[in-house]
Amino acid sequence: MSSTNQIVYTMMINIDTLLAWGATYRKVAAEETIFREGTRGHFYYQLVSGSVRWISVTEDGREFIQHMIEPGESFGELPLFDDSLYGASAIANKDSVILRLHKDTFRQILKEDPEIHFAFSRLMAQRMRFKFMLLKELACSDPEHRITSLFSYFKESKTNICNDCNRVQLTRQQIANMTGLRVETVIRAIKNLQFKGSLVIDKGKVYC
C-alpha cells in the first residue's frame, strides 16, 4: 500500500489528541442521520467504531453513496474549510460511535500541527481521485465494468474489502447506490463475473 493510502485510510487524528482538545464521544443508532445535506457544519467528525455512509439523494428519491466511512476516518470536512453547507448527508449504517470536535478547535489543531493539515490535504486529494474514477465509470454503460473498476479501486486502497480474506464489505444495495445501478442489475452482473472467474460468491458473500 502506498504511503498516501496509509495516511488517508488510517486514523486521521489520534484519539488522545482529540480528547485533549475537548472532543466528545457520541453514539449513533443504525440509520440515524448525523448531519444533513444543505445544513451548516459546526463540528469535525471522526468515526471510532461502526460504519457511516455519506450520501446524496436524487430527485426521484434514490440514494447515491458518495463515500463509505470506516473506523478511523473523518467525514464531512469541507464546511470546516470553506464555511459552506454540507454537500451530502451522513447516515450511520449500523450502531456506531463517533468523536465530535468543534470547528474552531479543529482549525486551531491544523494551525499548530502542519503534519495533520497536510494529511487532510492528502485525504481530499484521494477522495477527489475516487470521484474522478467513479464519474468516468458512470459514463460506461457496462455494469460489469463499473463493478470491476469499483472493486479494483477498493483493493488498491484497501478499503471496503477485508485485507485477510478479500471479502467485499458492501451489500449489493450499497454497490448499486455507489455505481448508479439498480440492485437487480448488480446481482446479475456479480453472478456473471463469478461465472467468468473474476470473483467468488460463497454463502452469499462476494470475494475478489
Q: Are residues 186 and 172 in contact, defined by beta-carbon separation less than 8 angstroms?
A: yes
User: 71-102, pLDDT tens digit by residue?
Assistant: 999 999 989 999 999 989 999 999 999 999 99
Per-residue pLDDT at 8 exceeds 50: no
Is residue 133, in this structure, part of any structural domain at all?
no
Per-residue pLDDT at 3 exceeds 50: no
Grid cell for residue 147: 463493478
C-alpha distances (whole Å) from 148 to each of 85, 132, 135, 171, 176 are: 33, 16, 14, 15, 13
User: Percent of the chain having pLDDT more than 70?
Assistant: 95
User: 149-177, pLDDT tens digit by residue?
Assistant: 888 888 877 788 887 888 998 899 999 98
DSSP state of 74: E
Is residue 197, in this structure, part of any structural domain at all?
yes
Residues 87 and 42 in one domain: yes
Residues 167 and 190 in one domain: yes
Range of the domain at 61: 3-128
Q: Are residues 91 and 52 in contact, defined by beta-carbon separation less than 8 angstroms?
A: yes
Q: State the average pLDDT for the chain.
A: 87
Residues 18 and 120 in one domain: yes
How would you class 104 by CB atoms within 10 Å of its CB: exposed for 0-12, middle for 13-18, buried for 19 or more? exposed
Per-residue pLDDT at 5 exceeds 70: no
CATH of the domain at 175: 1.10.10.10
Number of domains in the chain: 2
Report the pLDDT value the prediction gives residue 11, as an integer from 0 to 100: 58
Report the pLDDT value the prediction gives residue 4, as an integer from 0 to 100: 34
Which residue, 101, 128, 155, sits at the end of a domain? Answer: 128
Q: Which amino acid is at 140?
A: C
Report the pLDDT value the prediction gives residue 90, as an integer from 0 to 100: 96
Residues 196 and 102 in one domain: no
Grid cell for residue 167: 471479502
Q: Looking at the whole model, is its pTM more than 0.95?
A: no
Q: Are residues 207 and 161 in contact, defined by beta-carbon separation less than 8 angstroms?
A: no
Is residue 135, in this structure, part of any structural domain at all?
no
Nearest to 101 by CA among 180, 173, 43: 43
Across the range 199-204, mean pLDDT stands at 89
Rounded Cα distance, 35 and 26, in Å: 13
Residues 34 and 66 in one domain: yes
